């Protein structure tokens, strides 16, 4: 397998992965979405709420705030040695909110949630939680835990994880009259018209929709759009809970463990048969 980083910033990464197949890419994508754990608020105790929103709606909104996650210091509740429903310092983080609108209407933002662990805080300070009118109050305690996206979307560490085949575009210069129809119709501006030829301006943007092939007046078309069978472009966007590198590493670790478990199950069944 070969991996090339095409684009990378704080929250997103775009990789070109060669030498793999669709089942592998799909397993990686599904594990990143559903199996890599992240931290989210799971239980809320409302101590005082004189706002117009019901407790349940506030709890739901709090659950969906992505939290910076520390996978090395916390256990999944089901794997924690405490075996307690309430959790312990190794599987639970408490956040509190104590706000009152003293002058007119005000918006309460995620920055006002106080965490007992300064490393486990909302990924952004600017997520609105609620609006309070004058003299309305909200006091609560919230408990965050590690969890998996397969149980609730609030635990997904990725806001986007997609892959597509690596496109291949071939222009037959002998057959092409440089009419520019393919350039005009392309919705992704992949192609560009030069004086005597058509150039590929941004191959990665191609969705392989075939519109350019259909628009070509030549018979057979002078442009051919195809894809490489074992090369894929993977796009991952983190919610901010974990770095994209960590999400990928965890996903590969989980996939590796699942394959090992599958192998040992097959071996056990074969031994039983013999």
What DSSP string runs through 49-83? E-SSS-HHHHHHHHHTS-B---TTT---GGG-TT-
Closer to ligand SF4 by Cβ: residue 151 or 172: 172
| Binding of Zn ion by 143 (CB under 5 A) | no
Using CB under 5 A, count the residues that bind Zn ion: 6
Residue 82 binding: pick among ligand SF4, Zn ion, none (C-beta 5-8 Å cut-off by kind): Zn ion
Query: Shortest distance, CB of residue 89 to Zn ion, whole angstroms?
Result: 7
Residue 88 binding: pick among Zn ion, ligand SF4, none (C-beta 5-8 Å cut-off by kind): Zn ion
Query: Which residues, 62 to 121, sit near ligand SF4 by CB under 6 A?
Result: none
Query: Which residues, 147 to 186, sit near ligand SF4 by CB under 6 A?
Result: 171, 176-182, 185-186
Give the residue ranges of DSSP H helices in the chain.
22-34, 55-63, 181-185, 211-215, 244-273
Rg (CA), the chain: 26
| Binding of ligand SF4 by 41 (CB under 6 A) | no
Q: Which of 3, 2, 1 is nearest to 236 (CA)?
A: 3
Query: Shortest distance, CB of residue 174 to ligand SF4, whole angstroms?
Result: 11
| Binding of ligand SF4 by 222 (CB under 6 A) | yes
Phi/psi of residue 193, nearest 5 degrees: -95, 125
User: Pick from 22, 57, 88, 153: which binds Zn ion (CB under 5 A)?
Assistant: 88
Asked if 38 and 60 count as a contact pair (C-beta separation under 8 A), the reply is no
| Binding of Zn ion by 82 (CB under 5 A) | yes
Tokens of 19: 């030498």
| Binding of Zn ion by 80 (CB under 5 A) | yes
Closer to ligand SF4 by Cβ: residue 82 or 215: 215
Tell me the Ramachandran region of residue 140: left when phi exceeds 0, alpha when psi lies from -120 to 50, beta otherwise: beta
3-state secondary structure of 119: coil
Binding residues (CB under 6 A) for ligand SF4: these are 171, 176-182, 185-186, 188, 190-191, 198, 206-212, 215-216, 218, 222-223, 225
């Amino acid at each position: 397998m070969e991996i090339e980083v095409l684009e990378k910033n704080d929250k997103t990464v775009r990789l070109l992965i060669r030498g793999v197949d669709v089942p592998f890419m799909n397993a990686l994508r599904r594990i990143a979405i559903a199996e890599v754990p992240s931290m989210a608020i799971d239980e809320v105790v409302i101590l005082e709420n004189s706002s117009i929103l019901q407790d349940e709606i506030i709890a739901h909104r709090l659950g969906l705030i992505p939290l910076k996650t520390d996978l090395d210091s916390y256990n999944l509740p089901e794997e924690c040695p405490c075996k307690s429903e309430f959790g312990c310092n190794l599987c639970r983080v408490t956040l509190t909110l104590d706000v009152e609108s003293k002058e007119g209407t005000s918006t309460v933002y995620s920055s006002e949630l106080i965490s007992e662990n300064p490393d486990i805080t909302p990924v952004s300070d600017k997520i609105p939680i609620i609006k309070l009118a004058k003299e309305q109050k909200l006091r609560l305690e919230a408990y965050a835990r590690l969890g998996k996206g397969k149980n609730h979307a609030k635990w997904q560490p990725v806001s986007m994880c997609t892959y597509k085949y690596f496109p291949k575009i071939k222009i037959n210069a002998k057959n092409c009259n440089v009419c520019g129809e393919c350039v005009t119709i392309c919705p992704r501006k992949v192609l560009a018209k030069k004086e005597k030829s058509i150039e590929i301006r941004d191959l990665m943007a191609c969705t392989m929709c075939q519109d350019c092939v259909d628009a070509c007046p030549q018979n057979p078309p002078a442009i051919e759009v195809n894809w490489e069978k074992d090369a894929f472009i993977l796009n991952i966007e983190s919610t901010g809970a974990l770095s994209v590198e960590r999400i990928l590493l965890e996903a590969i670790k989980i996939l590796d463990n699942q394959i090992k478990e599958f192998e040992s199950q097959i071996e056990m069944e074969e031994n039983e048969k013999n």
